[in-house]
């Protein structure tokens, strides 16, 4: 909630600056709400399953090569089924598992401005799904990564998330794998990390965390990394920059949250695999967040309380905790960030509602940007 509130202000500010990027890239005013795809061929890159209360949400990622973009087909169901059970659910003429690991040819797809896609149903609608061989070499360069150093530079050049276009699967890529350098499991975080290399020797970390809605995720990933499913050629996932303290990949610039794997001439979707009951061997101890990341995260969470409770309904201890957070940021040398927190605290003390709101936005945006760039 706090992030969405701050983003509204960030976009308004960005759109009114004289040196701003085109307003359409900040406010999203030039895209058609929906675009029919007359005949589309799409390659599935995998699926993510997550829980939201008593609902299960599956997001299938489909690479549309002609448009050079990844689209998201989303379905949700009531109940507590996990990914393996959901894999058998019917979607259009196939199943969730079939779509998430298939090649799709459809005459009934409709794409939204946010890059979600829906498949129309009816007697004249036609959608064919066949198993994919994971031949992602044929994907356009904008969706395929063969040089991790180039990907790192692309990530560095991105505008801040708060003012980028809000599109689904913005950072989903298929990353070519030339070798696996190391595999590590952190039992406390229930996280599996693997350092992979491209053909030039550049490194990235594939990092997956256990989820109750996808209990087979780590088992399936571990099996593929161990070579049990054939030679791994690609890993698809959400790419980003690895902050300090990224476990086994600490110091590795790119981190990949996997959604699919191309191995042994097929596509493997970890979230849709059943748990095998295998034991992952701990290979390193859980490490706490580094001081800088911990201080920024703590201060942002503290500011989020103001959005959750309301400025007039914060607990009596709030101002003391805010002061402690400011001192912690100052001690770490984050003086500009600390100054925005101080300004918010001063506005609260002065009792000005308008100033409190303005300085809260300033502080939250500064903290969020610092965390994104750290």
Separation of alpha carbons 339 and 363, rounded Å = 8
Specify whether the CB–CB gap between 33 and 112 falls below 8 A.
yes
State which fold the 34-131 domain adopts.
OB fold (Dihydrolipoamide Acetyltransferase, E2P) (2.40.50)
Residue 351: the pLDDT is: 78
β-strand partners of 254: 204, 241
Residue 27: the pLDDT is: 80
Residue 235: the pLDDT is: 98
Residue 250: the pLDDT is: 42
In 5-68 the beta strands, taken as DSSP E runs, fall at 34-37, 40-52, 55-64
pLDDT digits (tens, 9 = 90+) for 276-311: 877 677 775 556 668 898 999 999 999 999 999 999
Rounded to 5 degrees, what are φ and ψ at 140? -65, 155
Residue 352: the pLDDT is: 83
Query: Could you say which DSSP state residue 216 is in?
Result: T
pTM exceeds 0.85 for this model: yes
Domain 144-272 has CATH 2.40.50: yes
Tell me which residues of the chain have a pLDDT lower than 70.
Answer: 18-21, 122-125, 242-252, 279, 284-289
Average pLDDT, the chain: 90
Kindly state the tokens that stand for 65: 């090569």
Kindly state the tokens that stand for 293: 């990341």
């Amino acid at each position: 909630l706090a992030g969405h509130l701050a983003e509204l202000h960030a976009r308004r500010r960005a759109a009114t600056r004289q040196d701003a990027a085109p307003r359409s890239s900040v406010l999203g005013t030039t895209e058609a709400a929906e675009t029919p795809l007359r005949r589309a061929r799409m390659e599935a890159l995998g699926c993510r399953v997550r829980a939201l209360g008593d609902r299960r949400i599956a997001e299938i990622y489909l690479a549309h090569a002609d448009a050079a973009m990844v689209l998201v087909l989303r379905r949700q169901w009531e109940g507590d089924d996990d990914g393996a059970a959901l894999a058998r659910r019917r979607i259009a003429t196939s199943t969730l598992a079939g779509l998430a690991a298939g090649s799709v040819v459809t005459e009934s797809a409709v794409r939204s401005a946010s890059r979600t896609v829906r498949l129309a149903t009816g007697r004249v609608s036609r959608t064919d799904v066949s198993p994919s061989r994971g031949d992602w070499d044929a994907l356009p360069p904008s969706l395929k990564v063969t040089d991790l150093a180039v990907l790192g530079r692309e990530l560095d050049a991105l505008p801040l998330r708060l003012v980028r276009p809000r599109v689904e699967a913005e950072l989903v890529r298929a990353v070519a794998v030339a070798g696996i350098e190391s595999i590590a499991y952190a039992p406390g975080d229930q996280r599996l990390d693997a350092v992979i290399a491209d053909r030039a020797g550049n490194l990235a970390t594939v990092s997956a965390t256990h989820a109750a809605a996808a209990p087979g995720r780590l088992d399936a990933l571990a099996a593929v990394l161990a070579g049990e499913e054939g030679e791994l050629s690609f890993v698809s996932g959400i790419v980003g920059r690895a902050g300090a303290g990224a476990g086994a990949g600490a110091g590795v610039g790119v981190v990949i949250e996997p959604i699919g794997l191309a191995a042994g001439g097929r596509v493997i979707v970890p979230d849709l695999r059943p748990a095998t009951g295998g034991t992952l061997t701990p290979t390193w101890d859980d490490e706490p967040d580094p001081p800088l990341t911990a201080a920024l995260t703590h201060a942002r969470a503290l500011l989020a309380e103001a959005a959750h409770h309301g400025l007039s309904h914060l607990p009596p201890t709030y101002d003391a905790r805010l002061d402690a957070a400011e001192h912690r940021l100052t001690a770490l040398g984050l003086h500009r960030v600390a100054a925005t927190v101080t300004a918010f605290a001063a506005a609260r003390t002065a009792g000005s509602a308008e100033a409190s709101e303005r300085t809260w936005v300033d502080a939250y945006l500064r903290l969020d940007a610092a965390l994104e760039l750290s």
